[in-house]
Amino acid sequence: KLSIQRGTPILCGEPDRTTGNIIYSTKSGAKRIFQMCDVPIPMSAYDIQDKDEFELALARLIVNNLDVNVWIFKIDDEFGARGHASLHVDSLKAIVELRKRKVKMNDNIIVRLQSTLSKVLPKKVKIAQPTLWTGGWDQYIKEFCRIGGVIECAPPLCTLN
């Protein structure tokens, strides 16, 4: 209405699930656009909408990037860090072991790590704004999967509280 009143064109309409333009107005959508344009992005997984898919994607990312200590989770449609959470893996026993062994990674290792992560995530994940997620990890991951989201590595010099 304001646009019409002022005679100012708007560049895009409201995100609308029925027309499909929501896919580009999310964090996952941005990742897709950046990849199409060959813009470098952090190691990540996106368009995640299932808890098993989340754990498997995280396990694959960790196994293929053992040097990364912090992984960040972002709910697609949240803003102001409302949907952010992080996991520090440097102190997790399974990760420490994998780093020591330096074996060739395979599907068996990924499946075992996925199993470990399903037990560890509820205890170790730090939710950026815990007052919004009073149900803790269970509430957070349920919303993450309902809306969709992104897992990405944190820059090495990034400090997260």
Q: How would residue 107 be classed by pLDDT, with cut points 50, 70 and 90?
A: confident
The pLDDT score that the predictor gives to residue 69 is 93
The pLDDT score that the predictor gives to residue 36 is 81
- Tell me if 82 sits within 8 A of 64, measured CB to CB: no
Give me the amino acid identity at 118.
S
The 3-state DSSP class for residue 5 equals helix
Give me the amino acid identity at 161.
N
pLDDT digits (tens, 9 = 90+) for 56-80: 999 999 998 888 999 999 998 887 7
Q: Residues of the chain with pLDDT > 70: what percent?
A: 81
Q: Does the structure show a pLDDT above 70 at 161?
A: no
Q: Which residue has the higher pLDDT, 32 or 3?
A: 32
The pLDDT score that the predictor gives to residue 22 is 58
The pLDDT score that the predictor gives to residue 135 is 93
Cα three-residue angle 37-56-139, rounded to 5 degrees? 95
